[in-house]
Amino acid sequence: MSRYPHLLSPLRVGPLTLKNRVVFSAHLTNYAEHGKPSEQHAAYYAARAAGGAGLIITEEHGTHVTDWPYEKLIHGFDPGVIPGYRRITDAVHAHGVPILAQLNHNGGQASSMFSRLPVWAPSPIADPLFREVPKALELHEIRDVVDGYALVAEHCVAGGFDGVELQCSHSSLVRGFLSPATNVRTDAYGGVLENRARLLLEIVAAVRSVLGPARALGVRLCGDELIEGGTTIEEAVAVARMVDATAQVDYINTSIGVATATLYMIEASMQVPPGYAMFIPSAIREAVSIPVIGVGRFKDPVQADRAIAAGQADLIGVVRGQIADPDFVRKARSGSAQDIRTCLSCNQECVGRMGLNRWLGCIENPRTGREAVVLPMPTRRAQRVLVVGGGPAGLQAAVTATERGHRVTLLEKADRLGGQVPVAASVPSRAEFLDITRNLAAAAHRVGVDVKLQHEATADEITADGPDAVILATGAVPARPWWAGDLAQVVDVRDVLEGRAAPRGRVLIVDELGFHQATSVAELLADRGCFVEVATPGMVVGQDLGITLDLETWNVRADAKGITQLTDVVPMSATEGITLTLQHHPTGADLTRTVDWVVCAVQQRADDALWQALKGSPFPVHRVGDCVAPRRAHAAVIEGHRVAVAL
């Protein structure tokens, strides 16, 4: 008997029988090339199929030439996509897993930047993100939209998909019609809910007639748009009933939020509790007769199994969980769920890269986004490899090198592995960040890396040892800003988090990094009763939290904790007291702050002493991560992996 009897039980969805309840739900990847699916698409989905996913739903396929909101959209209306579709479906079917294509027209949630055509929407109401006034659809254009869905459904059939899902949430013309916030039409497609749902039902009928009975049709609905005047759960349930009543739809997928207004709740970071959106499938499931998919930060099989057991949903969308570990289901099934490379919900390389038009990756899985790039064969001649430093870079290097057949010893000077990660994760709202090195440390143990803690390596020792290769991952150390002098009450973020300093009273945090360092320590100190102000030379405090969708929630918490913010300022001097002089660089005006402590979130210095001592040694010496240049954790992981693969 499986430990996850609900999650791993089969389910019939229309004409399909799924082996388990785990869905790799639709999400953007930016893997498309020239509007067509790429080899990378096929390799990416195939890896999740091989890992045992119950159902895969691809990213969206554009249904009409008027829809091109971002560069790397798959233009499903172009018949040239069919060979790429076939490549994907063949690769996935090889593992016995069904795959659906998601069809969409983004409607007004787009710009004309790429299409050079007016954006189409129910009403001329500009989207909050793109801010381009759309053209209100005329009736003949609505017919074109419906025809576009049917055409792409034909392409999907020709390309071997097992069915399609209609995207009617997140970012979608259908969503735009359903939502009273964006549909103010007075014709048969606006007004009462029956009218606003008319386009959806017309598309359902048209697509079903293309698919026939042997293929599945799903509809993804938004349960709460979280915008003023938008769709709420009552209307979502009513629409789900209408969809169910057509008897043409095989399942309902759910979502929360609007991609261009409340994205931070769609792809919630670790700051939002897991399972936060399950009120939606719960409510819809009570109203319909077909299976319902629930989503929202499902990170482990226990949690997903419980949600199904509790009747919240029939199927669970695990997207980021399978981005991080394609073998999520296989490991759960084989009783080794503890080996799952758990997603952190950090959003740095998945969500964070999407908005920047970059290919989807993963902070802790160096292969995500590179599945189509074949690695060289593992070595036949095992080398004796010495890794110095047990942070993410050193751990990843050690794990990859061991997996590829080398004998690896890892020396870590501290009494625990993880480098700076446990420090960063010591702030309550960032606790899940610890998973990155927890997963790596577990992997190191599993594959058999010889880990020696509290062992500070010296150049002499390494030279005397004469390994076949050395990988230095010695990290970074805090660097004191020039204006800080030797004032004892000017300290680094790491001094606070590592317990060397305990600021009290009024604290000014100087943020030159724009990421979690300053905002995390601000919260920590505010929680301890400090009066905290965060100052930055940038235009926004914690600017890059916007990329990971943490900015909104941090601001709400910061406000509740009395944290204030100061932008566009550069520290000029600090004197005993402490009085800090800051220059407001737009105006050149000086301002001063008298505080008890100053905490610096500033660039660190690479700890490259061993590199300087060892480079030019008779054995190859590599360096990875912060000891090359102090950056974020992803750089450490990919460099550790890359160097180990190249040994």
Partner 1 sequence: MLTESFTIGSRTAPSRVLFGPHETNLGSDRALSDRHVAYYRERAVGGCGVVVVETASVHDSDWPYERAPLAADCGPGWTAIVEACSPALVLASLGHTGGQGSSAYSQQPLWAPSAVADAVSRELPMVMEDTEIAVLTAGFGTAARLAMASGCAGVEIEAGDRSVLRQFLSGITNQRGDDYGTDKARLLREVIAAAREAVGDGLVALRLSCDELAPWAGVTPEHALELVPTLDVDLLTVVRAGPYAGSAYRPDAHAPEGFNKALCASVKAVARCPVVLQGSVVSAAFASSALAEGACDLVEMTRAQIAEPALLQKLRTGAAPRPCVLCNQGCRVRDARNPIVSCIGEPRSGHELSDALPVDGGSGEVLVVGGGPAGLECARVLALQGFSVEIREATEVLGGAVLDAALGAGRERLRSLVAWLAAECDRLGVKVVLGHEVVAAELSSYSGRVVLATGSNARDTGWVDARDALRGTLPDGPVLVHDPVGGPVGVSVAEKLAADGRDVRIVSQDPIVGTLLSLTGDLADCNTRLQQLGVPRELKSLLRRVSGGSALLEDVWTGAQRAVPAAVVVDCGPRLPREELYETGTLRAGDCVAPRTILEAVLEGRRVALELGA
Q: Which of 234, 286, 527, 559 lies at the binding interface for partner 1 (CB under 8 A)?
A: 559
Dihedral over Cα of 324, 405, 456, 643: its sign: negative
**What are the CA-CA distances from residue 90 to residues 53, 93, 300 (Å)?**
16, 5, 28
Nearest residue (CB) to partner 1, 440 versus 513: 513
Q: What are the residues whose beta carbons fall under 8 Å from the beta carbon of 87, sequence distance 6 or more?
A: 37, 39, 41, 42
Interaction of residue 635 with partner 1, rule CB under 8 A: yes
Q: How far is the CB of 65 from partner 1 (least distance, A)?
A: 13
CB of residue 107 to partner 1, shortest distance in Å? 13
- Least distance (Å) between residue 297 CB and partner 1: 21
Residue number with CB closer to partner 1 (86 or 135): 135
State how far the Cα of 118 lies from the Cα of 135, in Å rounded to an integer. 6
Determine the Cα–Cα distance for residues 490 and 303; give it in Å rounded to an integer.
44
Pick from 362, 316, 272, 357: nearest CA to 549: 272
Residues 314-353 that bind partner 1 (CB under 8 A): 353
Min dist CB 111 to partner 1, Å, is 9
Query: 2 vs 603, which CB is nearer to partner 1?
Result: 603
Tell me the per-residue interface mask from 377 to 416 with partner 1, x by CB under 8 A, - otherwise. Answer: ----------------------------------------
Distance CA 273, CA 143 (A): 42
The residue among 318 and 628 lying less far from partner 1, judged by its C-beta, is 628
Let me know how many helices (H) and strands (E) the chain has, helices first: 22, 27
List the x/- string, 278-297, binding to partner 1 by CB under 8 A.
Answer: --------------------
Ramachandran bin of 369, using left for φ above 0, alpha for ψ from -120 to 50, beta for the remaining angles? left
Rounded to a whole number of angstroms, the minimum distance from the CB of residue 559 to partner 1 is 4
Q: What is the DSSP string of 522-589?
A: HHHHHHTT-EEEEE-SSSSTTGGGGTTT-HHHHHHHHHHTT-EEE-SEEEEEEETTTEEEEEETTTTE
Q: Does 603 bind partner 1 (CB under 8 A)?
A: yes
Number of Cβ within 10 Å of residue 502's Cβ equals 12
Specify the residue, 506 or 584, whose C-beta has the smaller distance to partner 1.
Answer: 584
Of the candidate residues 50, 133, 337, 477, the single one contacting partner 1 (CB under 8 A): 133
Dihedral of the alpha carbons of 84, 86, 91, 97, in degrees to the nearest 10: 120
**Comparison of 160 and 481: residue with beta carbon closer to partner 1:** 481
From residue 312, alpha-carbon distances to 79, 209, 457, 464 in Å are 39, 31, 53, 61
Q: Measured from the CB atom, is 125 or 382 closer to partner 1?
A: 125
Tell me, what amino acid is at 487?
L
Distance of closest approach, residue 323 Cβ to partner 1, in angstroms: 17
Judged by CB under 8 A, which stretch of 269-277, 461-469, 493-501, 635-643 contacts partner 1?
635-643
Among 44, 70, 69, 68, residue whose Cα is nearest residue 56: 44
Candidate list 3, 17, 65, 71; residue touching partner 1; CB under 8 A: 71
Which string of x and - marks every residue 499-518 that binds partner 1 (by CB under 8 A)? -------------xxx----
Segment 160-179, which members bind partner 1 (CB under 8 A)?
Answer: none
Told to check if 568 binds partner 1 by CB under 8 A, we report yes
Query: Among 612, 604, 620, 619, which Cα is nearest to 391's?
Result: 604
119-127, 319-327, 330-338, 441-449 -> range binding partner 1 (CB under 8 A): 119-127
**Lookup: tokens for 601:** 């979130």
The yes or no reply on residue 552 touching partner 1 (CB under 8 A) is yes
Closest approach, Cβ 411 to partner 1, in A, equals: 23
304 token code pair: 């997903």
Tokens found for residue 233: 């759960």
| Residue 54, CA distances (Å) to 26, 48, 123 in order | 14, 9, 39
- Listed ranges 311-319, 331-339, 403-411, 549-557: which one lies at the site for partner 1 (CB under 8 A): 549-557
Helix (H, G, I), strand (E, B) or coil at 33: strand
Instruction: Please report, in angstroms and rounded to a whole number, the separation of the first and last CA atoms in the chain.
Output: 43
Edge-first strand listing for the sheet containing 621-623: 450-452, 407-411, 384-388, 469-472, 621-623
Q: Which of residues 351-370 bind partner 1 (CB under 8 A)?
A: 353, 356-358
Whichever of 448 and 586 has its CB closer to partner 1, that residue is 586
Considering only 555, 573, 583, 617, the residue that binds partner 1 (CB under 8 A) is: 555
Please report whether residue 607 would count as binding partner 1 according to CB under 8 A. Answer: no
Residue 325 or 511: the one with the smaller Cβ distance to partner 1 is 511
644-to-43, 102, 193, 366, 430 alpha-carbon distances in Å: 22, 38, 58, 12, 29
**Which of 107, 134, 291, 478 touches partner 1 by CB under 8 A?**
134
587 lines the binding site for partner 1 (CB under 8 A)? yes
CB of 272 to partner 1, least distance (A): 14
Based on the shown chain and the rule CB under 8 A, indicate whether residue 135 belongs to the binding site for partner 1.
yes
Instruction: Tell me, by CB under 8 A, how many residues bind partner 1.
Output: 53
Q: Is 373 in the site for partner 1 (CB under 8 A)?
A: no
Binding of partner 1 by 119 (CB under 8 A): yes
Binding-site member from 1, 131, 213, 486 for partner 1 (CB under 8 A): 131
Kindly tell me which of 123 and 409 has the beta carbon lying closer to partner 1.
123
Least gap, CB of 225 to partner 1 (angstroms)? 16
Question: Whose CA is closest to 554, among 271, 256, 347, 273?
Answer: 271
Which of 113/453 has CB closer to partner 1?
Answer: 113
Q: Please pick, from the candidates 188, 556, 572, 646, the single residue that binds partner 1 as defined by CB under 8 A.
A: 556
- Give the residue from 606, 603, 592 showing the smallest Cα distance to 511: 603
Q: What angle do CA 177, 179, 182 make, to 5 degrees?
A: 75
Pick out residues in 612-631 that bind partner 1 (CB under 8 A). Answer: 628-631
Minimal CA–CA distance to 158: which of 62, 89, 74?
A: 89
118 binds partner 1 (CB under 8 A): yes
Contacts of 446-451 with C-beta under 8 Å, sequence gap 24+, read 446/339, 447/399, 447/402, 447/403, 448/402, 449/387, 449/398, 449/399, 449/402, 449/408, 449/409, 449/410, 450/407, 450/408, 450/409, 450/410, 451/390, 451/398, 451/409, 451/410, 451/412, 451/417
Q: Give the residues across from 385 on adjacent strands.
A: 408, 469
Q: Is 112 in the site for partner 1 (CB under 8 A)?
A: yes
Helix axes 435-447, 392-403, angle to 10 degrees: 30
For residue 259, the minimal CB distance to partner 1 (Å) is 15
Cβ closest to partner 1, residue 356 vs residue 374: 356
Q: Which stretch binds partner 1 (CB under 8 A): 127-135, 340-348, 378-386, 438-446?
A: 127-135
Name residue, tokens 């013309």.
173
Q: Using CB under 8 A as the criterion, which residues of the chain lie in contact with partner 1 when the complex forms?
A: 70-71, 112-114, 116, 118-119, 124-126, 128, 131-136, 138, 140, 353, 356-358, 512-514, 537, 539-540, 544, 551-552, 555-556, 559-560, 568, 584, 586-587, 603-606, 628-631, 635, 638-639, 642
